[in-house]
């Protein structure tokens, strides 16, 4: 055993990042064979069809015009007041729920999940999410001394599995008094699913049936909201968060990373939604407290960027037009992929929108390793293979589904 200084709960921990490993292999192949001969579907950022990083033009224009006096000083601990107002406009659109709402700035969506787990679950509690999930949910739970359990995202008809959801919620609440549930929708990472309005109604019905002495915090990770379809249609579910019982707190984890293509600025917000004014006030208090105890405050320039855009109707309209164009670009790539997948009899997890689509596999590592022989690079997940349509140019899709089908046939045992 190597000598260790770590606290007992951290000893031996380290992040093995499969995304990083896959991306490194793809880069090595590009260096050897030339970029044009490699299919790199590992990258989780938006690349255009010539594989150039997309920075939305309105974002660049507004950010580059900010004076240093709006970038350099500290932001408020909870966030800049204007930002905390405008981020709700950005998140809710026309679908602000009838409820008390409060926003607190966070380090992207990750920061919102961090605060939610720490502030709304007990040490040792189990957090619940779907079985296809963004891997860091387990790191966040584990590092903060919680467990992560999953329900089946899909039923046999490839629709949201409400029975599995209900059964897990009730099972966990039989042994703990509060429960944090994480749902990633719309444009789910890693599969691209979006819950329908009816499915949302079913989810909320399950939660409303929970006894009043149990507490539910429902975190909705909307990281891909702005590439999920028409703006207000994709936000319609948020209206349903009004008028819920006071033992259900909904938290929308809003990230600027993808919607503004400023992944590296580390800015977002958690927006608490409650029918009880005390719960909303407590939300502002305890999350501000935790911010002071974690990162102190959040990137001021990025907050000013969002504020400047959402206070300017023309800039907002321009930004939304730019997002719509890239949504369409990804939809076209996914359509090419899906059509060929059907011909190649390659089963896919239901994709509606978003940066990623997934292929179920029994042995995702073996499949991804086999694909490297064809100069195709994708990310192995627990339940399948993730293909980043955000980064895969339309011109490189052809042949990929067929080759994945072959790799599955050869090595997926």
Q: CB atoms < 10 A from the CB of 24, how many?
A: 13
Stretch that binds its own copies, among 60-68, 81-89, 234-242, 364-372 (CB under 8 A): 60-68
Name the residue nearer to its own copies (CB basis): 381 or 397: 381
Binding status of residue 24 toward its own copies by CB under 8 A: no
Binding status of residue 196 toward its own copies by CB under 8 A: no
Among 18, 25, 51, 55, interactor with its own copies by CB under 8 A = 55
Name the residue nearer to its own copies (CB basis): 117 or 329: 117
Mark residues 340-359: x for contact with its own copies by CB under 8 A, - for none: --------------------
Name the residue nearer to its own copies (CB basis): 194 or 307: 307
Name the residue nearer to its own copies (CB basis): 2 or 157: 2
Binding status of residue 289 toward its own copies by CB under 8 A: yes
Binding status of residue 69 toward its own copies by CB under 8 A: yes
Stretch that binds its own copies, among 11-19, 27-35, 191-199, 228-236 (CB under 8 A): 11-19
Asked if 322 contacts 56 with a C-beta cutoff of 8 angstroms, the reply is: yes
Among 25, 89, 144, 148, interactor with its own copies by CB under 8 A = 144
| Residue 238 burial by Cβ neighbours in a 10 Å radius (0-12, 13-18, 19+) | buried
Q: By CB under 8 A, what part of segment 99-118 binds its own copies?
A: 107-108, 110-111, 114, 118
Binding status of residue 282 toward its own copies by CB under 8 A: yes
Question: Min. distance of Cβ 1 from its own copies in angstroms?
Answer: 9
Binding status of residue 249 toward its own copies by CB under 8 A: yes
Q: By CB under 8 A, what part of segment 292-321 binds its own copies?
A: 292-301
Binding status of residue 119 toward its own copies by CB under 8 A: yes
Name the residue nearer to its own copies (CB basis): 266 or 370: 266
Q: CB atoms < 10 A from the CB of 72, how many?
A: 9
Binding status of residue 166 toward its own copies by CB under 8 A: no
Closest CA to 100 of 242, 5, 3, 213: 242
Binding status of residue 254 toward its own copies by CB under 8 A: no
Binding status of residue 380 toward its own copies by CB under 8 A: no
Binding status of residue 50 toward its own copies by CB under 8 A: no
Binding status of residue 164 toward its own copies by CB under 8 A: no
SS3 per-residue string spanning the chain: CCCCCCCCCCCCCCCCCHHHHHHHHHHHHHHHHCHHHCEECCCCCCECCCCCECCCHHHHHHHHHCCHHHCCCCCCCCCCHHHHHHHHHHHHCCCCCCCEEEEEEECHHHHHHHHHHHHHCCCCCEEEEECCCCCHHHHHHHHCCCEEEEECCECCCCCECHHHHHHHHHHHHCCCCEEEEEEECCCCCCCCCCCCHHHHHHHHHHHHCCCCCCEEEEEEECCCHHHCCCHHHHHHHHHHHCCCCCCEEEEEEEECCCCCCCHHHCCEEEEEEECCHHHHHHHHHHHHHHHHCCCCCCCHHHHHHHHHHHCCHHHHHHHHHHHHHHHHHHHHHHHHHHHHHHHCCCCCCCCCCCCEEEEECCCHHHHHHHHHCCCEECEECCCEEEEECCCCCHHHCCCHHHHHHHHHHHHCC
**Count of residues that interact with its own copies, criterion CB under 8 A:** 82
Question: Min. distance of Cβ 294 from its own copies in angstroms?
Answer: 5
Binding status of residue 75 toward its own copies by CB under 8 A: yes
Distance CA 245, CA 275 (A): 7
Question: Min. distance of Cβ 52 from its own copies in angstroms?
Answer: 9
Binding status of residue 123 toward its own copies by CB under 8 A: yes
Binding status of residue 89 toward its own copies by CB under 8 A: no
Q: By CB under 8 A, what part of segment 228-247 binds its own copies?
A: 246-247
Among 39, 42, 63, 333, interactor with its own copies by CB under 8 A = 63
Distance CA 407, CA 367 (A): 6
Stretch that binds its own copies, among 13-21, 31-39, 218-226, 309-317 (CB under 8 A): 13-21
Among 64, 175, 211, 413, interactor with its own copies by CB under 8 A = 64
């Amino acid at each position: 055993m190597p000598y260790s200084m770590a606290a007992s709960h951290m000893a031996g921990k380290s992040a093995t990042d499969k995304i990083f490993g896959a991306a490194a292999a793809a880069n090595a192949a590009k260096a050897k064979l030339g970029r044009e001969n490699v299919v790199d579907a590992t990258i989780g950022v938006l690349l255009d069809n010539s594989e150039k990083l997309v920075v939305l033009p309105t974002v660049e224009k507004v950010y580059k015009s900010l004076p240093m006096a709006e970038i350099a000083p500290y932001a408020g601990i909870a966030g800049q007041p204007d930002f905390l107002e405008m981020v709700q406009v950005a998140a809710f659109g026309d679908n602000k729920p009838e409820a008390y709402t409060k926003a607190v700035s966070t380090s992207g969506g990750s920061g919102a999940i961090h605060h939610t787990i720490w502030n709304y679950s007990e040490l040792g509690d189990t957090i619940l999410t779907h079985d296809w999930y963004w891997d860091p949910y387990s790191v966040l739970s584990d590092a903060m001394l919680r467990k992560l359990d999953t329900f089946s995202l899909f039923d046999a008809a490839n629709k949201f599995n409400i029975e599995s959801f209900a059964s897990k919620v009730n099972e966990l609440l039989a042994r703990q008094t509060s429960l944090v549930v994480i749902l990633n929708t719309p444009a789910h990472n890693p599969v691209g699913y979006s819950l329908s309005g009816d499915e949302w109604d079913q989810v909320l019905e399950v939660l409303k049936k929970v006894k009043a002495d149990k507490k539910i915090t429902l975190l909705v990770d909307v990281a891909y909201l702005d590439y999920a379809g028409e703006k207000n249609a994709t936000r319609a579910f948020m209206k349903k968060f009004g008028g819920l019982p006071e033992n259900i707190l909904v938290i929308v984890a809003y990230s600027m990373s993808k919607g503004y293509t400023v992944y590296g600025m580390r800015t977002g917000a958690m927006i608490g939604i409650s029918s009880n004014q005390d719960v909303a006030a407590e939300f502002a208090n305890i999350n501000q407290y935790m911010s002071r105890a974690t990162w102190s405050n959040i990137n001021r320039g990025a907050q000013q960027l969002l504020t400047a855009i959402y206070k300017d109707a023309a800039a907002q309209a321009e930004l939304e037009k730019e997002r719509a164009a890239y949504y369409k670009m990804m939809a076209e790539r996914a359509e090419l992929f899906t059509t060929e997948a059907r011909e190649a009899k390659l089963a896919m997890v239901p994709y509606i929108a978003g940066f990623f689509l997934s292929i179920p596999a029994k042995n995702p590592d073996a499949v991804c390793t086999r694909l490297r022989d064809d100069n195709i690079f994708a990310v192995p997940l627990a339940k399948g293979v993730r293909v980043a349509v955000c980064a895969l140019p339309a011109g490189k899709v052809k042949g990929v589904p067929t080759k994945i089908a072959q790799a599955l046939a050869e090595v997926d045992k």
